[in-house]
Amino acid sequence: MVRRAKGLAGTLSPEEVAKLHREGAILIDVREPTETASGQIRGAHAVPRGTLEFSIGDVTDDHDARLVTYCSAGSRAALAAATLKQMGYAGAIASEAGFEELRKTGLPIEHDD
């Protein structure tokens, strides 16, 4: 199922995610709140995978926007991006790397205070 989702949505390397972040792509962190407590990429929208279908409209209704999903290891991100594609968000794509790998690229990280 995850392999099929990756094929449908496509994936990006950590470096490609960092580049798109700098270019203004919308990052969607699909991890659970207990996971995002350790930090998230600055500007990312926290939308847990289980609420994505209900909450994405609060993030954007632009179905052509470049949306990059990420999680802790890549599987939920792929499933989320595939779901977004099926919902008509043509620019959705998944990070192949999880949060810790993305952090290593130097992406700015923010924490809840």
Q: What is the pLDDT of residues 74-89, one digit of tens each?
A: 899 999 999 999 999 9
Q: pLDDT tens digits, residue range 54-73? A: 999 999 999 999 999 999 99
What does the pLDDT average to over 1-25?
A: 91
pLDDT of residue 88: 97
The answer to whether residue 91 sits within a structural domain is yes
CA distance 76 to 66: 18
Q: Which domain holds residue 8?
A: 2-108
Structural domains in the chain (count): 1
CA distance 104 to 47: 22
The answer to whether residue 16 sits within a structural domain is yes
The structure tokens listed for 23 are 């270019």
Q: What is the DSSP letter of 105?
A: T
Give the whole-number percent of the chain exceeding pLDDT 90: 87
The answer to whether residue 10 sits within a structural domain is yes
The answer to whether residue 113 sits within a structural domain is no
Maximum Cα interatomic distance, the chain, rounded to a whole number of Å:
38
